[in-house]
Structure 1
Amino acid sequence: MTAASDDIAQVGIITSTVMVIALVAITAFVALGVYRARHSAAREAHYRGLAEQAGETQARLAEDSRQTVAELKGLRSDVQATQAELGRVRERLTELERLLSQIG
């Protein structure tokens, strides 16, 4: 009867060992799944933050571009006014040169 008892004990030990190994493996897989889920959520939150920053940056860039366009239009108007005044000065200078040539 000891041989049968020893066999039953060995089967019990083997079964217990297999159960412990299975429990450890299942726990490891669950822990890995939880880790990956948390890591994925953290990456998604980081991605959303980056997307929000990119949107804000694009909005700022668009506003800065509109301001630059307005400034350039103002400068173009100033340059056109200066060119018109320069044309009038040239006309007066030509008239003065003509008068000086008549005098001298």
Structure 2
Amino acid sequence: MAELSTIAAAAVVVTIIAVAGFVATGVYRARYAATRDGGYRVLAERSADSAEAAAAELKGVRDELSQVRERLAALEKLLSQIG
């Protein structure tokens, strides 16, 4: 009988250790995933900021290009009147 209670106690201890190990593994994975997701969020924010900055700069280039086209058209008109 003593052997049976010793085996049962050992089985209970092993089961508790296994459950604790699985829980610890799950907690570790959850923390790691949260950290990784936080990094992805920061990267996505930086990407969005870069896209907005590029769009603003592109708008400025388009505005300058339209001004250059207007000046070129005026210059062509002046040159056609002269020559």
Length-normalised TM-score, structure 1? 0.73
Identity of aligned residues (%): 31
* Counterpart amino acid of residue 47 in structure 1: Y
* Structure label with greater radius of gyration: 1
What is the aligned counterpart of 2:8 among 15, 18, 27?
15
Corresponding position: 1:55 with 2:48: yes
Q: Report the residue type matching 1:31 in the other structure.
A: A
Gaps of 5+ in 2: none
From 71, 77, 85, the counterpart of 2:64: 71
The offset of 1:89, in angstroms, is 2.5
Q: Give the corresponding residue for 2:37.
A: 44
RMSD: 1.2
Is 1:83 paired with 2:76?
yes
Unaligned runs of 5+ in 1: 1-7, 91-104
The alignment of Structure 1 onto Structure 2 pairs a total of residues equal to 83
TM-score (norm 2): 0.89
Match of 1:29 in 2: 22
Q: Which runs of 4+ in 1 moved over 3 A?
A: none
